[in-house]
């Protein structure tokens, strides 16, 4: 929540959180710290998306100018927060609106449609989504192939591709280089196979699927990641 008292001082603090592992890229989190006279603890606006960061910086500058103009006048913190949330809602990335909740609760929280966005999960094993919906069709077409277990996550019994698929989803969403994501995915599946011939055939099918139409899946994963950050910022601050 954004709380600003009389004679507030605003400062920007940057933190860098690094996800370890070959398929993860670094993500920056901007924390706009608001401290003021008589406040025992600072209050923060947490921003991971560009939309939130831009709005927070704009509101912060407006508060600074107000403070300079009327240094002894109290500042209506609720009004400032309302302005911030209204501006953040107006700056919603256009592609995120497809995920807005269509439900409406008369007595529910403000901005219900944004706070309850229905965004696909970051990872979902080897099924649909960032690993490509086409992968399901590819494997289904080989359902009669000897050795297929019937489980898309573990096409060869005892050989689980789910961790490799989830890591591939995360790599795409982080906007890492597509070739690096696909290569790591292929290597991870082959490590699971441990030389098992039929398993390796299925890993080649999966790898071929992502190489064939992976670009569209990567673009979708990156856009969904932006919307997750935007939603998280909105829920945390508004």
- Rounded-to-integer distance, Cα 49 and Cα 69, Å: 31
* Close Cβ partners of 77 (under 8 Å, ≥ 6 residues apart): 2, 3, 4, 5
pLDDT of residue 116: 93
Q: Which residues pair with 3 in a beta bridge?
A: none
* Number of CB atoms found within 10 A of residue 53's CB: 19
pLDDT of residue 76: 64
60 versus 4: which is more confidently predicted? 60
Tens digit of each residue's pLDDT (9 = 90 or more) over 207-227: 888 887 778 888 989 999 999
Cα→Cα distances 172→25, 64, 214, 218, Å: 10, 39, 9, 5
pLDDT of residue 9: 31
φ/ψ of residue 49, rounded to 5: -100, 155
pLDDT of residue 57: 82
Tens digit of each residue's pLDDT (9 = 90 or more) over 136-177: 556 656 656 677 887 888 888 899 999 999 999 999 999 999
Which pair of tokens denotes residue 21?
């592992």
Which pair of tokens denotes residue 130?
């960032």
């Amino acid at each position: 929540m954004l709380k600003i008292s009389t004679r507030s001082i605003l400062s920007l603090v940057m933190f860098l959180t690094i996800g370890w592992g070959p398929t993860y890229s670094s993500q920056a989190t901007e924390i706009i710290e608001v401290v003021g006279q008589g406040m025992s603890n600072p209050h923060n606006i947490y921003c991971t998306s560009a939309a939130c960061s831009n709005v927070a910086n704009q509101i912060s500058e407006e508060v600074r100018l107000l403070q300079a103009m009327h240094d002894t006048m109290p500042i209506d913190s609720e009004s400032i927060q309302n302005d911030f949330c209204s501006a953040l809602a107006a700056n919603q990335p256009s592609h995120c609106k497809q995920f807005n909740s269509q439900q409406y609760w008369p007595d529910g929280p403000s901005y219900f449609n944004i706070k309850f966005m229905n965004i696909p999960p970051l990872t979902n094993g080897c099924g649909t989504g960032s690993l490509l919906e086409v992968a399901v069709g590819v494997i289904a077409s080989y359902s009669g192939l000897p050795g297929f277990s019937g489980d898309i996550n573990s096409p060869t019994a005892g050989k689980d591709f789910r961790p490799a698929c989830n890591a591939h989803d995360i790599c795409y969403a982080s906007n890492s280089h597509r070739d690096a994501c696909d290569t790591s995915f292929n290597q991870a599946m082959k490590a699971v196979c441990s030389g098992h011939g039929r398993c390796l055939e299925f890993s080649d099918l999966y790898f071929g699927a992502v190489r064939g139409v992976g670009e569209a899946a990567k673009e979708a994963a990156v856009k969904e990641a932006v919307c997750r950050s935007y939603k998280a910022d909105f829920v945390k601050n508004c």
